[in-house]
């Protein structure tokens, strides 16, 4: 049997992550020049639904969402925004890093659903939830975010920026002496 209080702590940590993800996705989807705003808008709806699943899970075990942790998730996104905005003014790099943050969060959510699926096999309070479907949805969400992240990688990290800026001296080749 699950310990409802322990599960509530774990679920609330993920709810805080969902709060941060929703803030970040809302910002990405509404950016005036966002090339993948439709991807972000769809992902926003998916994360919102996953958040509802967590809230329903908490209700099912007689627990509630923690306002303190939700506020922490909101604040974490604001701090991430400061970090992302503190770059070299490069929108591609900022979006790239935002997508990487989202990708890592989705992998964490996938782990949540997988762990709860294992526990659900022995606990009737969780047995009614389809954790395999939720895990598969997280896999699909990750694939979408990762596709966008990798499409953005050349602009964020590649030679496009170098060619546009001042000529930068290339570093030494692998194995080449540096001095």
Task: Tell me the CATH number at 27.
Answer: 1.20.1260
What average pLDDT score do residues 53-74 get?
69
> Does residue 162 lie in a domain region?
no
The model carries a pTM of 0.76
Reference 104, options 48, 164, 145; nearest CA is: 145
Q: Are 116 and 129 in contact (CB under 8 A)?
A: yes
Counted domains in the chain: 1
33 CA to centre of own chain: 21
Domain that holds residue 137: 4-156
The residue written with tokens 């996104």 in the block is: 77
- Listing DSSP states for 72-134 in one string gives HHHHHHHHHHHHHHTSSS-HHHHHHHHHHHHHHHHHHHHHHHHHHHHHHTT-HHHHTS-HHHH
> Does residue 166 lie in a domain region?
no
* Model confidence at 88: pLDDT above 50: no
Q: How far apart are CA 38 and CA 44, in angstroms?
A: 10
> Does residue 103 lie in a domain region?
yes
pLDDT at 64: 67
> Does residue 12 lie in a domain region?
yes
> Does residue 122 lie in a domain region?
yes
110 vs 160, more confident:
110
Average pLDDT, the chain: 78
Residue 136 — pLDDT band, cuts 50, 70, 90?
Answer: very high
């Amino acid at each position: 049997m699950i310990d409802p209080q322990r599960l509530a702590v774990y679920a609330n940590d993920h709810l805080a992550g969902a709060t941060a993800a929703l803030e970040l996705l809302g910002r990405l989807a509404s950016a005036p020049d966002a090339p993948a705003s439709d991807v972000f808008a769809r992902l926003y709806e998916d994360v919102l639904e996953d958040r509802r699943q967590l809230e329903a899970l908490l209700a099912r075990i007689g627990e509630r969402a923690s306002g303190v942790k939700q506020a922490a998730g909101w604040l974490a996104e604001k701090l991430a925004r400061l970090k992302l905005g503190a770059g070299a003014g490069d929108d591609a790099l900022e979006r790239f890093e935002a997508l990487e943050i989202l990708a890592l969060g989705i992998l964490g959510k996938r782990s949540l659903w997988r762990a709860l699926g294992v526990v659900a096999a022995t606990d009737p309070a969780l047995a009614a939830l389809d954790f395999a479907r939720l895990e598969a949805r997280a896999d699909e969400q990750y694939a979408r975010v990762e596709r966008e992240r990798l499409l953005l990688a050349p602009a964020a990290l590649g030679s496009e920026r170098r060619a546009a800026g001042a000529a930068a001296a290339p570093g030494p080749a692998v194995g080449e002496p540096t001095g």
